[in-house]
Amino acid sequence: MKNNRRWTLPRSAALWMSASLAGMAVLAGCATKAPEVKATSSGWVKNQVADAYTFGFPLVATDIARERASSGAARSGQPPLNAFRHATALPPVGAPGWPSVDTLESTAWLDVSADPVIVSLPAAPRGRYLDARAFDAWTDALYSSADTTPYPKMQLIAFVPAGWTGTLPANATRVETRTRYVWLSVRVRVNGQRDVREARKLQTSMRIDTLTPAKGSVSDPTPVVAGAWPANGAKQPAVPPLPNAPSTASAGAQAEALDANAFFARLARSLDDNPAATDDSHAMSQLADLGVKPGEPVQFKKTDAPMLDSGLADARERLATVPSNAISKNGWIWFGDGVGVYGTDYTLRAYLARRQTATSTKDGEVKPVARVDSEGHALNGANQYALHFAADQLPPVRGFWTITAYTKDGALADAKLPRLSISDRDRLKKNRDGSVDVIVSAKSPGRAHATNWLPVPDGEFQLAMRLYAPKPQASDGSWAPPPLERQ
């Protein structure tokens, strides 16, 4: 459902909103008091808060993710921006957040404010999947090599601010961004622990440079595009520090834990560097009516706390609900059209920012998730299930596919399991008619079925099927994973 609400009350009510929320100082800075106008509907105000929260949630989540990455880089002595951070091992047992056990990931936060950023990636060896994905600070997809080829040749990618008119290397692919910060993720396929060393050789060949290294310092306050990022070099309002959270907590979870003061203060600060799209003018107008403006302190009245809390509660419930434009078949849920290029579908964008960070377009990756069996019961390792793929109906991909088991909370299962995923590289036994049965259970089904066995944790669990560089039928719903039939 597109979240592009048009408010039904007169403009005078919006002006009152700006006044009624102007009193409580949560940031250092000077307060400005708007004229007070009485409201006629507190429900309208609550809905406005919920919509504003949904609209800004992805930007707050990425702001937290960048802050966490910068803090981690500072502790390790690495530069916080424009530098790769390589995962040099597969995720450990118990790792949260539905991590992939079939790829090594190299990530970087790019800052294009002082100079275009040039990313150089090696060619993928024959049969070695490699995908470079880039997202702006609102989680909109800017670039994905898997959209066109899952086994690319050498890539030279130039990230430039929208409107930049300089000269790039002749063989560089130009990628424009309206936001100062860009999140880059490069994934390389690995076939088990023994294959990690080969994948790491590709990581050592990845480079990030600025177009003019002498100028390209993040401390240089001169914007590369006139009028871009006006806060560069200027002191921005402070925001409340992040509350203590487990190191395993995702940036989305931390964003969701913020109260209204901290959330909207962080949103206002981040908007200065990462402006909204032209089509977001209505949403930005509603934010301004709430007193949330780019680069300015946010000040709410104490008396408005109940209304703010109620609006946030409604928004969090919205983010916990699977959007209506999800594809749901056979107990699996996934997304196709609209993912990565959201337009004004703020609900879908926020939902994925909370649960599936940096979701690629439907041409880059599709990820069906199953939590229930064919009868609607929660999956449980005490049972044995069968996934029956009819002949020629295995996941349709241009790249590769995997199925991974996780706990009900999305963590990797116990190390006792002989393997954590099953994929197209496994020599799955076929039935006489060419179909394939994948056995899903905590207990071994016996030697005869060991090749097709996907071990799962005891208790409740969930499955994530990843289709890297999927074919169109996987993202339009004409193909679907089979149901999990309890045996």
CATH assignment of the domain containing 338: 2.60.120.600
Rounded alpha-carbon distances, angstroms, from residue 264 to 4, 259, 290, 300, 343 = 19, 9, 10, 10, 22
Per-residue confidence (pLDDT) for residue 393, from 0 to 100:
94
- Helices (H) then strands (E): counts for the chain: 9, 20
Domain count along the chain: 3
Q: Which residue has the tokens 């090696």?
A: 122
- In this structure, are residues 404 and 420 in contact, taking their beta carbons and an 8 Å threshold? yes
Domain co-membership, 176 together with 133:
yes
Domain co-membership, 132 together with 255:
no
Per-residue confidence (pLDDT) for residue 386, from 0 to 100:
96
Domain co-membership, 255 together with 110:
no
For residue 32, what are the domain limits?
11-64+232-319
Of 265, 297, 319, which marks where a domain is finished?
Answer: 319
Per-residue confidence (pLDDT) for residue 12, from 0 to 100:
36
- For position 106, which CATH number holds? 2.60.40.1610
Over the chain (487 residues), what is each successive 10-residue block's mean pLDDT? 39 36 34 37 80 97 92 68 92 84 94 95 91 96 92 94 92 96 96 88 94 59 63 64 73 93 95 95 94 92 91 95 93 92 95 87 94 96 96 94 93 80 93 96 91 93 96 92 96
Per-residue confidence (pLDDT) for residue 355, from 0 to 100:
86
Domain co-membership, 292 together with 357:
no
Query: CB-based contacts of 227: which residues, under 8 Å, 6+ apart?
Result: none
* Structural domain contains residue 203: yes
Of 295, 319, 343, which marks where a domain is finished?
Answer: 319
CA–CA dist 451, 224 (Å, integer): 56
Per-residue confidence (pLDDT) for residue 4, from 0 to 100:
42
Per-residue confidence (pLDDT) for residue 230, from 0 to 100:
59
* Structural domain contains residue 176: yes
DSSP sequence for 89-103: SPPPTT--S---SSE
CB hemisphere CA count around 346 (13 angstroms): 22
- In this structure, are residues 400 and 189 in contact, taking their beta carbons and an 8 Å threshold? yes
Domain co-membership, 160 together with 269:
no
Domain co-membership, 339 together with 482:
yes
Domain co-membership, 191 together with 111:
yes
Residue type at 475 in one-letter notation: S
Q: Which residue has the tokens 């909204």?
A: 276
* Structural domain contains residue 74: no
Of 272, 295, 319, which marks where a domain is finished?
Answer: 319
* Structural domain contains residue 453: yes
CA–CA dist 144, 336 (Å, integer): 16
* Structural domain contains residue 73: no
Domain co-membership, 438 together with 380:
yes
H or E element in which residue 204 lies: none
* Structural domain contains residue 226: no
Per-residue confidence (pLDDT) for residue 451, from 0 to 100:
93
Domain co-membership, 369 together with 473:
yes
Domain co-membership, 384 together with 360:
yes
Q: What sign does the dihedral 28-30-34-35 (CA atoms) show?
A: positive
Domain co-membership, 408 together with 459:
yes
CA–CA dist 333, 388 (Å, integer): 18
CB hemisphere CA count around 380 (13 angstroms): 7
* Structural domain contains residue 392: yes
Rounded alpha-carbon distances, angstroms, from residue 153 to 122, 132, 215, 304 = 7, 12, 30, 56
* Structural domain contains residue 277: yes
Domain co-membership, 24 together with 59:
yes
